[in-house]
Amino acid sequence: MTKSRQPDSAVPHHVAIVMDGNGRWAHRRLLPRVAGHRQGVESLRRCIRACAERGVKVLTVFAFSSENWSRPVEEVSGLMDLLATALTREVPELKKAGIRLHFVGERGNLSERVRAGFVAAEAETAANERMVLNICFNYGGRWDIAQAAARVAAAGQAITEESLGRATALAHVPDPDLLIRTGGEQRISNFLLWQCAYSELFSAIACGPTLTTRHWTKR
Q: Please list the alpha-helical segments (H only) found in 70-176.
A: 73-96, 112-124, 141-154, 161-167
5 located within any domain:
no
Query: What residue ranges of the chain have pLDDT lower than 70?
Result: 1-9, 21-38, 202-219
Q: Rounded to two decimals, what is the model's pTM?
A: 0.83
173-206 tens-digit pLDDT: 999 999 998 877 778 899 999 999 999 984 333 3
Neighbours of 53 (CB within 10 A): 10
112 located within any domain:
yes
9 located within any domain:
no
2 located within any domain:
no
34 located within any domain:
yes
208 located within any domain:
yes
31 located within any domain:
yes
Question: Which domain range does residue 168 map to?
Answer: 14-218
CATH number at residue 58: 3.40.1180.10
Residues with a known catalytic role: 20, 68
Cβ burial of 20 (10 Å; 0-12, 13-18, 19+) is buried
The tally of domains found in the chain comes to 1
1 located within any domain:
no
155-168 tens-digit pLDDT: 999 999 999 999 99
